[in-house]
Structure 1
Amino acid sequence: MIDHTGIVVSDLGKARRFYDAIAKPLGLATADNGEESFVFGKSAEEPIPYLWVGITRPSYWVDGSRAGLNQMHVAFIAPSKQAVDEFHRAALSAGGRDNGKPGPREGAGQYYGAFVLDPDGNNIEACVRGQAAL
């Protein structure tokens, strides 16, 4: 189980538009977290797990790091295949780039997912497993 993860972006406004757009199909939300970041998760009532998205340079970065340099992969649980499809459409409409159209994935069993690159090139996925993926 993930508690939280975070990514650094180069343009907070572009990132916010992207994550606001993909939140609805996944049943998630964005929330302000200061002037240099926001969080992406379920709700204020259920704050963990979450994704921190911001422009602040993390203290743990090594020299030469920058937004988009070390591509991150984050997969979000979707409630249905329809939600995965909606996620993909919303992401592309909000400036994301296709990195794997919605569909089953070979060798993954009962799995249906879609991949997009966010405005900084991070690989963002929505997926559904089990019977809902068939």
Structure 2
Amino acid sequence: METQELHRGRLIDHIQLVVRDLAVSQAFYAAVFDVLKVPMGGTGDSYFWADELFVSSADSEAAQGALTGRHHLAFQAPDRATVEAFHAAALAHGGTDNGAPGERPYHPGYYAAFALDPDGNNIEVVFHGEAKRSAPSVKITF
């Protein structure tokens, strides 16, 4: 018998972005992840990663020489202050404003900010408010 964890709300297992300038992207994401209290998982000559986001240069083995297209990634925040700190850190580390912190019409309590990373990916940090907390992870045994 094998035990695996199922994380409710985790449709995506991981994502890889392939970027033009790894050092510039690493400075941007390190600042963003510092605000979110997500530790950097590791680095190498052609990549870095944190949690389930892998970022590599076009010359990395995994990239196969091609840049990825533009993506929209949304990270969860524990509160509004973190959303605001993300936006400030993103802009201070090579990001471009794509939506200042504020309420959005998606559902009551949806508070988010948006910044384009150095490669044009739309990075969002969102606080869903107290009413939208997700269900805890459950274990499933096969």
Give the TM-score band, short-chain normalised. 0.7 to 0.9
Letter of the structure 2 residue corresponding to residue 66 of structure 1: L
Structure 1: unaligned runs, 5 residues or longer: 42-49
Greater C-alpha radius of gyration: 2
The residue that corresponds to 1:15 in the other structure is: 25
Cα displacement (A) at 1:132: 7.7
1:58 aligns with 2:63: yes
Aligned length: 119
Assess, with a 3 A threshold, how the Cα gap between structure 1 residues 26 and 17 changes in structure 2: closer, same or farther. same
The residue that corresponds to 2:40 in the other structure is: 30
SS of 2:40 mapped into structure 1: strand
SS of 2:82 mapped into structure 1: helix
Contact 2:42/2:50 (CA < 8 Å) preserved in 1? Answer: no
- 1:1-134 superposed matches below 5 A: 1=10, 2-41=12-51, 50-55=52-57, 56=60, 58-59=63-64, 66-67=67-68, 70-131=69-130
Contact 1:80/1:132 (CA < 8 Å) preserved in 2? Answer: no
Q: TM-score, normalised by structure 1?
A: 0.80
Letter of the structure 1 residue corresponding to residue 110 of structure 2: Y
Cα displacement (A) at 1:6: 1.1
Structure 2: unaligned runs, 5 residues or longer: 1-9, 133-142
